[in-house]
Amino acid sequence: MKLLNKAVKHGAGLGTAPLGNMYRDVSEEEAFGTIQSAWNMGIRYFDTAPHYGAGLAEIRLGKALADKPRDDFFLSTKVGRYMKDSTEEKEGLFKYGRQNEVVTDYSGESTRISIEQSLERLQTDRLDVVFVHDVSPDFHGDAWTEKFEQARSGAFHVLEEMKKKGTIKGWGLGVNTISPIKLALEMGELIPDIFLTATQYTLLQHEHALQEIMPLAEEKQVEMVVGSPYNSGALLGGSYFDYEAADANVLNHVRQLKQIADEYNVSLKAAGLQFSSAHPAVSAVIPGSTKAEHVEEDLRLLQEEIPKDFWKELISKGFISEKAPLPV
């Protein structure tokens, strides 16, 4: 039985990276309103991480869910980073988050520290799934394989032990590239139960994931969660792609997709959500938001009917792979 079967009724969960003040200062009112809207709409899967605003997203999620029965929702967070009381000047995606110094470490001891801190911030006594976060080339460059080995001998064993004891239901990797997922799936021991692949199985880019990790996931009966289905907003006309400024090629790609979508009166947001969730290995899509109305819109668009001819044209023009499973 899949881990997320009972938790995901709409094919969607809520990603909370934006609630950690990603890109901008998000008010408490906005953050709590977004989480409450998700709850009211029936979402019961919430994903977060210490990295999101140096614990800010976890704190906000914990407060918002504090009065909800713990058995009624599914919660995933991540390890690989823990917080210190000392502060540091922030820059990048979460420069508006908390100022706590962040330590990146995939060892067993640091994994335990990270989990203890997350439980406190989330105001809960247990986690359902834990992802090893960002053990990937986009964060560690050529040293990512060394970090992977540190996680393999440290975090992986701690999480597997927790699963065997029943402390967590499962564990895996949460990354923005496919190489670590492929490596983990090819391990002879300690095969993860679930992966969070952000930005890699989307309407804008999916060829490598489709060829290299989705068949392995199906073969080994491992679940996939798709994060950032809009590639940091680029699909919706935003200026970021995969957490960096979108270049001219990406912007032109989106314009062409938009022209075709307009011809069929299709929302690219609906197409993106439905494409990412159509693969049988995918258990959930978890777009992030800071607006309550956007959460409601996401759930509605997941159910919106899209003409088959729209998908056929995208295939014929090379925008999506002919091997990609499509919404029924």
Residues 66, 254: Cα–Cα separation, whole Å? 40
Strand partners, 171: 130
Determine how β-strand 282-286 pairs with β-strand 223-227.
parallel
Q: Are 296 and 306 in contact (CB under 8 A)?
A: no
Task: Compute the residue count for the chain.
Answer: 328
Q: Is 40 exposed, middle or buried (0-12, 13-18, 19+ CB in 10 A)?
A: exposed
Q: Which amino acid is at 195?
A: F
Assign 194 to helix, strand or coil.
strand
Assign 170 to helix, strand or coil.
strand
Residues 118, 131: Cα–Cα separation, whole Å? 12
Q: Are 201 and 276 in contact (CB under 8 A)?
A: yes
| Catalytic center residues | 47, 52, 78
Strand partners, 197: 175, 226
Q: Are 74 and 45 in contact (CB under 8 A)?
A: yes
Q: Which two structure tokens, joined as six digits, stand for 38?
A: 């998700």
Query: Which residues have a Cβ under 8 Å from the Cβ of 240 and sit 6 or more positions away?
Result: 23, 232, 233, 234, 246
- Give the chain's largest Cα–Cα span: 56
- DSSP single-letter state for residue 242: T
- How many C-beta neighbours within 10 Å does residue 205 have? 17
**Axis-axis angle for helices 248-263, 308-316 (nearest 10):** 140
Q: Which two structure tokens, joined as six digits, stand for 20?
A: 């950690």
